[in-house]
Amino acid sequence: MKNLVFFLALILTFAEGRAQGTVERIKFASQALEGNLIGDDHVRDVSIYLPEGYQESDTRYPVLFMLHGFTDDDSKWFGHEEHWINLPELLDQSFEDDQLSKMIVVMPNAYNRFKGSMYSSSATIGDWETFIANELVAFIDNNYRTIAKPSARGLAGHSMGGYGTIRLAMKRPGVFSAIYLLSPCCMESNVNPNPGLRRNVEAVQRMDQLEEQPFFVSATLALSAAWAPNPQNPPFYFDLPFTEGIDRPEIVAKFQVNSILSMIDQHIPHLRDLNAIALDVGDQDWGISGPSKKLDEILSAYQIDHHFEIYQGDHVNRIGERIVNHVLPFFSRHFSGN
């Protein structure tokens, strides 16, 4: 079967003396990602946190799907390697509070040849929207003791994952009931005007050059792959939004229509249907705090109930704290059917 899932469970043990969940890392064969033009593996790693007591009971749990940021992956977030965050440790710490609803937490690996999928649908990189909102959700419900209904299913993400969170909520309604955006990127068009950057982007001509590129070069390539696919343009099968440093208006337009602030007006009914929306951002998160404020203003203009906060911090330095003190309590309050 194409959707055969190979369980390569990795059970991690955390700090002694604390209630401990377990982590399974599985491989999931996605039909939606199969056949992508860039040749990325359609068999994706997925990390799954099962709360303490899961193995010993028949309790069913709500599920929080979490999406990592650009250049990150599930391995880094789930403690398989040293990183700036260790999500299972934060979950164990949080669930010591008996007032907090325990939940299953799921994170797919969205790192690809371009260092991030943008959780978008493109012939170049595959249909990530279907993979997450349809295939992965269905697999988790069919193979774990979940409360298999939207009211007990949430979606959250950091940076690129924050973008993916609101994108999926708008484009795949009825799957998730609550969303939380942490420092979401790509609210506005992301065609960087810097001439030097553009020269460096256009200098990338071969597959073996992709991994060595700096952040903003990689980001431009990743956005092009996600938003401007071109099956007639090997080896990367996308169009850049500029040629010889000069904007290509027809490709720039593709970037613009994929920015959240451009597409949101067409999806207001779907956002209204959510039970809860929250977003937050650090005041020193340059390039992200301003557009996040604009998103807050648009939601307010449409009278969509939501929570927005600008806190003291940058793009990553307080994300762990936000997850413990804000994200998990938010979903615990808004999940129903426990």
Query: Residue 123: which CATH number?
Result: 3.40.50.1820
The kind and range of the H/E element at 335 are none
- Tell me the C-alpha distance between 271 and 277, whole Å: 8
Model confidence band, residue 19 (pLDDT cutoffs 50, 70, 90): low
Q: Is residue 219 part of a domain?
A: yes
Per-residue pLDDT, 3 = 47
- Helix, strand, coil shares, percent, the chain, to 5: 35, 20, 45
Q: How far, in Å, are 162, 184, 204, 262, 295 from residue 174 at the CA level? A: 18, 22, 40, 22, 21
Kindly state the DSSP code that residue 150 receives in the 8-state scheme: G
> Please, which residues have CB within 8 angstroms of residue 258's CB and are 6 or more apart in sequence?
120, 186, 226, 227
323: pLDDT confidence band, cut at 50, 70 and 90? Answer: very high
User: In terms of domains, do 176 and 203 share one?
Assistant: no
Are 177 and 218 in a shared domain? no
Among 257, 282, 298, identify where a domain stops.
257
Is 207 inside a domain boundary? yes
- Do 177 and 280 lie in one domain? The reply is yes
Q: Average pLDDT of the chain?
A: 94
Q: Does residue 2 register a pLDDT over 80? A: no
Residues 170 and 234 in one domain: no
Q: What pLDDT is recorded for position 10?
A: 43
pLDDT the model gives residue 336: 82
Reported confidence tier of residue 11, pLDDT bands at 50, 70, 90: very low
Task: Say yes or no: 209 and 274 in one domain.
Answer: no
Average pLDDT of 115-127?
A: 98
Running DSSP on this structure, what letter comes out for residue 61? B
How many structural domains comprise the chain? 2
* Same domain as 253, residue 145: no
Answer whether 29's CB lies under 8 Å from 35's CB.
Answer: no
In this structure, the answer to whether residues 117 and 54 fall within a common structural domain is: yes
If asked whether residues 37 and 118 sit together in one domain, one would say yes
Is position 262 within any domain?
no
pLDDT interval class at 337 (50, 70, 90): low
Residues 165 and 141 in one domain: yes
Band of pLDDT at residue 215, cut at 50, 70 and 90 = very high
Q: Which residues of 78-116 are buried (b: 16+ CB within 10 A; e: fewer)?
A: bbbeeeebbbbbbbbbbbeeeebbbbbbbbbbbbbbbbb
138 and 223, same domain (yes or no): no
Q: What percent of the chain has pLDDT over 70?
A: 94
Instruction: Give yes or no for residue 1 having a pLDDT over 70.
Output: no
Q: State the pLDDT at residue 18.
A: 54
| DSSP per-residue string spanning 84-121 | S--HHHHHHHHTTSTTSPP-EEEEE----TTS--TT-E
- Domain membership of residue 245 as a residue range: 195-257
Tell whether 27 and 172 lie within a shared domain: yes
- Domain termination site, one of 209, 228, 257: 257
> Are 77 and 177 within one domain?
yes
Q: What does pTM read for this prediction?
A: 0.94
